[in-house]
Amino acid sequence: MRRPVIGILTWREGKRFAEPAYFRRLIRAGRALGGTVFLFAPQDVSPSGRQVRGFVPDGRSWKARVFPRPDVVIDRYRYKPTAAFRQYVTFRRTNGFRYANSRLANKWKVHEVLRRDERMHRWLPEAMLYNHKHLRSMLARHRLLYLKPLNGTGGRGIVRLEKTAEGYRLLARNKDRAKVSALIRRIPALLRWIDRWKTEKMIIQQGLRLDLVPKRSVDMRLLIQKDGNGRWSITGAGMRVGGEKSATANLHGGGKAVPVETLLRSRFGEQRAQEIITDCEQLAYQTAETIEQHFGRMIELGLDIGIDVDGRAWLIEVNPKPGREIFRELGMPQVYREAIRKPIQYALYLIRQHPGDERQSSQAAL
Ligand SMILES: Nc1ncnc2c1ncn2[C@@H]1O[C@H](COP(=O)(O)OP(=O)(O)O)[C@@H](O)[C@H]1O
Ligand SMILES: [Mg+2]
């Protein structure tokens, strides 16, 4: 039998790829597990769709060769506000590969989908789409708010807004993640500030008290993945402690990684820490189920979970193409390796489940 063929869809310009270090590891893991794995971009697929120009490591660089149509494609094309990304979106809609993972919509759409599922309610911060009326009504209910661009990543464009005795305190991260702060006394000026700030639609989210470490934002990053039997499993989690006076805990924004148990035990004690962890696990399995029901098959999800100062868990964000570097930073090399193997094992599982399907349908289409 020929080796199963797995394509990884990503951004490419010449031999420059997004995430080259991760892809080298992924391809190596794929080979060790008996598959043929290569990278490709939308421009690498022949018009008939039967052949693909694929890339594999070649020393420190990459070499291209022609591969057969992949049995399964793992979509790892991450959002960028560029023309290339728009081409990718069209490509994904129109070509008939069998994908291991579906696309997720923006932060607001995801919130709406989760909100419709009663089982998710206890973990969802209140949220509304930004406009003047909604901001006023959210301010009337919450002293702390977060405003976030619908397609933002890495903490970019996020505004933390707090109502204080002196006025509205703003702490924001611009497109380059630089910190910006302001104090505004009255609502009309506040609305003008936000209208100038925003570059796309924004979601307003109830702000959570995440300062489990004084003056820091702390949150949990949990990785839930499909395994080689097609079932969801939690691979691991870590806490991210944000930089001092930072509104976000993203690692790129100056945050640092700490083991979950260490941080939760020191704050809540042994037993309560365990209850919180169990709650986070339930949150993760339920989120994966609800997301899949609506958006279709997924391969993995990175969940940003806030644990507030009372120990309550909240779902902040669902990342469909998450990183796994946190496990390396935590000094957990086995978990890190497992996080790389699992997507391949799941892709191989899919191929075993439906051998040949895709080739038949591609011939039927010719
Ligand atoms: N509602 C909130 N309350 C408190 N902190 C928040 C809230 N929303 C976001 N944050 C902080 O900002 C970070 C980035 O927000 P997130 O929604 O994950 O956007 P991004 O896509 O930029 O990662 C979170 O990891 C968290 O530290
Ligand atoms: Mg996030």
The pLDDT of residue 248 is 77
pLDDT band at 251 (very low <50, low <70, confident <90, very high): low
> How many percent of the chain have pLDDT more than 70?
95
Say which CATH superfamily domain 107-123+210-331 falls into.
Answer: ATP-grasp fold, B domain (3.30.470.20)
| Whether 320 contacts 103, CB under 8 Å | yes
Q: Picking from 223-232, 327-336, 347-356, which range would have the lowest pLDDT averaged per residue?
A: 347-356
Q: Locate the domains of the chain by residue range.
A: 5-99, 107-123+210-331, 127-206
pLDDT digits (tens, 9 = 90+) for 51-101: 999 999 999 999 999 999 999 999 999 988 889 999 999 999 988 899 999
Distance 134 CA to ligand 1 centre (A): 19
Return mean pLDDT, the chain: 93
What is the whole-number distance in angstroms between the Cα of residue 42 and the centre of ligand 1? 31
Q: How confident is the model at residue 364 (pLDDT cuts 50, 70, 90)?
A: very low
Q: How far is the CA of 305 from the centre of ligand 1 (A)?
A: 9
- The Å distance, Cα 157 to ligand 1 centre, comes to 11
Ligand nearest to the CA of 161: 1
Q: What is the C-alpha to C-alpha distance for residues 283 and 159, in angstroms, rounded to an integer?
A: 26
Cα 353 to averaged position of ligand 1 atoms, centre (Å): 38
Candidates 219, 287, 312: which one to mutate for ligand 1, based on the most atoms within 8 Å of Cβ? 219
Q: Sort strands 5-9 and 72-75 into parallel, antiparallel or unpaired.
A: parallel
Mean pLDDT of 196-219: 94
Which residues contact ligand 1 via a Cβ below 6 A?
125, 146, 148, 152-156, 158, 205-208, 210, 217, 219, 242, 248-250, 304, 306, 316-317
**Could you read off the pLDDT of 270-282 as tens digits, one per residue?**
999 999 999 999 9
Q: How many CA atoms lie within 13 A of 96 on its CB side?
A: 14
Indicate which ligand has the atom closest to the C-alpha of 147: 1
Mutate which of 111, 161, 250, 319 for ligand 1 pocket (most atoms within 8 A of beta carbon): 250
pLDDT tens readout for residues 158-187: 999 999 999 999 999 888 888 899 999 999
Residue nearest to atom 19 of ligand 1 (CA): 155
How many CB atoms lie under 10 A from the CB of residue 139?
17
Nearest-CA residue for ligand 1 atom 20 is: 153
Query: Where would I find the beta strands (DSSP E) of the chain?
Result: 5-9, 12-13, 16-17, 36-40, 51-58, 61-68, 72-75, 127-129, 144-149, 159-163, 168-173, 179-184, 202-206, 218-226, 232-241, 256-258, 300-307, 313-319
